[in-house]
């Protein structure tokens, strides 16, 4: 009976909540900017201010404007073109000839710069508008006072719009509709919003120039946007972290469970926890693991039964061959003995596959040393090179058999074996080198399968039926490790590399 699942919000619900909160945060940022009424752009420049700066010597009151004087008339800056209509209006407001006025606007402004204003103020003490040719005309020294002066009479400006006339034009844009008066080209109160350069020739012949860049986002608006963005980010990061963790943790558990299943079919079942979708997937995974174990057990029982039952007919066949002539009888008996050895090896392999010994911490170096000592006691040319002690959690009987199989394989085909142990991070690495003929690199994976042998140089004259490497490989995999076969780069021969997870090194 499966354990009850620890359920939480479904993946759909988690995704919906995350998107809803992100959307609400974005809307909250927009509403906050609207409520705070933060100006989006830098304060615009009004035509009266430009007229006052051109007709007086007061400095610019904002960082937006730049005022300077030069001996020559200014040339159009890059990206600006001359606007004759604007020059006509400025000359009218300043009461000077048009030849003494220059106005350049942004070239990409198809409708021209947007200017609208009440007529500019007169300076005190002037009988006529600014810029008259009398050289003794006085200039106002106080910018604030100048901008507060009452405007002049509107002159021929219309007091009422003609019937059917369209709305006032936008700034300096000409209004070409029928019935429009010349003065309707102005819209009172509309500021200059685009980049421009305005210049007036002073009575002394020098040119006074006022420059304004294209409108830019205000510093206050930028600050508020950044602060609100950071606030929204801080509000969403914990939710995004929770969502990512809740989604990635089950997937990580699935990956670990699949890896354990590949190494050990009897591994523990996957935990049933997380969103409902993950719980259903875990149930399917556990059911698949149970089916795989059942199929493996059925296969193992079948092979064991066949191998066991073959012994009886082979024994009868050996008894009946006693009446044959020696040459033929000896060859037949040799084949029967080989078949018996294969059956015994198959039964041993199956028994080892079934065996799951008790695991405990052990010193891998001491285990390998004992195997090498046993081999050298019977005259084998084997040597364990110096190296560190490595502790791991494993089945000592199974690991001993794996090392014995690998050592016997090296001595059988290479006559000489050299073993070395090293630590590589969280893994212990065992190398077993021999001086044999090596292997065909294309058969590297096949040689780890049961009953598979190498090329003709590793023939049956040396004995064995191809189970030594397979048994060692299955034992290493059961311990969460890996076994690899490679030809040595120098000196020839085969190198077997065994990697096993080990315990942290003691300090």
Q: What is the pLDDT of residue 507?
A: 59
Q: What is the pLDDT of residue 102?
A: 92
Six token digits for residue 430: 């065992």
Q: Residues with Cβ < 8 Å from 94, sequence gap 6 or more?
A: 51, 54, 55, 101, 120, 129, 130, 131, 200
Q: What is the pLDDT of residue 432?
A: 93
**Residue 275: count of CB within 10 angstroms of its CB:** 20
Q: What is the pLDDT of residue 147?
A: 35
pLDDT tens track of the chain, all 507 residues? 455 555 566 777 777 777 887 888 777 777 777 777 777 777 777 788 888 888 888 887 777 788 889 999 998 888 888 888 888 888 888 889 989 999 998 876 544 444 444 444 444 444 343 333 433 333 334 334 433 433 333 333 333 434 443 333 334 444 444 433 333 333 335 566 668 899 999 999 999 999 888 777 777 778 888 888 888 788 778 877 877 777 777 788 888 888 777 666 667 787 777 777 778 888 888 888 888 888 877 777 777 777 777 777 877 787 777 777 777 777 788 878 777 777 777 777 666 665 666 788 999 999 999 999 999 998 889 999 998 989 998 888 889 989 999 999 899 888 889 999 999 888 999 999 998 888 888 888 888 877 676 654 444 455 556 678 888 888 888 888 889 999 988 777 899 999 999 888 765
Three-class DSSP category at 241:
helix
Cα(175)–Cα(158) distance, rounded to whole angstroms? 14
Question: Which single residue is written with the structure tokens 């090293």?
Answer: 422
**Residue 21: count of CB within 10 angstroms of its CB:** 16
**Residue 413: count of CB within 10 angstroms of its CB:** 21
Q: What is the pLDDT of residue 223?
A: 82
Neighbouring C-alpha atoms within 13 Å toward the C-beta of 299: 8
Q: Residues with Cβ < 8 Å from 283, sequence gap 6 or more?
A: 2, 272
Q: What is the pLDDT of residue 454?
A: 63
Work out whether strand 101-106 and strand 360-363 pair parallel, antiparallel, or are unpaired: unpaired
Domain 358-501 has CATH 3.30.565.10: yes
Q: What is the pLDDT of residue 457?
A: 44
| Domain ranges for the chain | 11-38+220-257, 41-131+142-156+163-216, 301-353, 358-501
pTM of the model: 0.47
Three-class DSSP category at 55:
helix
Cα(363)–Cα(389) distance, rounded to whole angstroms? 7
Q: What is the pLDDT of residue 384?
A: 92
């Amino acid at each position: 009976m499966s354990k009850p699942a620890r359920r939480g919000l479904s993946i759909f619900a988690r995704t919906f909540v995350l998107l809803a909160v992100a959307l609400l945060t974005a809307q909250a940022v927009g509403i906050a900017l609207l409520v705070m009424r933060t100006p989006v752009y830098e304060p615009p420049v009004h035509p009266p201010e430009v007229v006052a700066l051109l007709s007086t010597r007061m400095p610019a009151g904002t960082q937006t404007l730049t005022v300077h004087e030069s001996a020559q008339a200014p040339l159009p800056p890059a990206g600006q073109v001359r606007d004759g209509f604007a020059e006509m209006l400025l000359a009218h407001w300043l009461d000077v000839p048009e030849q003494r006025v220059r106005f350049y606007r942004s070239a990409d402004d198809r409708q021209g710069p947007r200017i609208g204003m009440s007529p500019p103020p007169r300076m005190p003490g002037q009988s006529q508008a600014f810029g008259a040719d009398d050289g003794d005309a006085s200039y106002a020294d106080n910018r604030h006072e100048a901008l507060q002066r009452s405007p002049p009479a509107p002159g021929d400006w219309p007091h009422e719009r003609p019937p059917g006339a369209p709305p006032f034009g936008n700034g300096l844009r000409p209004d070409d509709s029928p019935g429009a008066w010349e003065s309707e080209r102005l819209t009172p109160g509309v500021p200059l919003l685009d980049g421009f350069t305005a210049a007036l020739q002073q009575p002394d012949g020098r040119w006074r120039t006022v420059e304004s860049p294209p409108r830019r986002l205000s510093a206050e608006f930028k600050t508020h946007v950044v602060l609100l963005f950071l606030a929204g980010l801080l509000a969403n990061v914990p939710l995004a972290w929770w969502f990512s963790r809740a989604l990635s943790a089950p997937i990580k558990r699935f990956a670990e469970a699949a890896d354990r299943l590949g190494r050990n079919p009897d591994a523990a079942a996957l935990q049933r926890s997380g969103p409902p979708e993950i719980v259903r997937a875990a149930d399917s995974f556990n059911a698949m693991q149970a089916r795989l174990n059942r199929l493996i057990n059925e296969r193992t029982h079948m092979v064991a039964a066949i191998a066991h039952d073959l012994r009886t007919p082979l024994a009868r066949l050996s008894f009946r061959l006693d009446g044959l002539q020696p040459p033929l009888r000896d060859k037949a008996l040799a084949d029967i003995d080989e078949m018996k050895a294969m059956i015994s090896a198959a039964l041993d392999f199956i028994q080892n596959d079934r065996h799951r010994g008790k695991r405990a911490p052990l010193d891998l170096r001491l285990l390998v040393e004992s195997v090498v000592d046993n081999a050298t006691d019977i005259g084998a040319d084997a040597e364990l090179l110096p190296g560190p002690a490595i502790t791991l959690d494993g089945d000592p009987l199974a690991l001993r058999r794996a090392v014995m199989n690998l050592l016997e394989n090296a001595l059988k085909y290479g006559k000489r074996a050299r073993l070395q142990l090293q630590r590589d991070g969280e893994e212990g690495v065992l190398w077993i080198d021999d001086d044999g003929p090596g292997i065909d690199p294309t058969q590297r994976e096949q040689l780890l399968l049961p009953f598979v042998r190498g090329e003709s140089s590793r023939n049956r004259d040396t004995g064995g039926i191809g189970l030594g490497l397979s048994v060692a490989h299955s034992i290493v995999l059961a311990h969460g490790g890996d076994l690899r076969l490679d030809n040595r780069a120098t000196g020839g021969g085969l190198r077997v590399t065994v990697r096993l997870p080990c315990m942290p090194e003691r300090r």
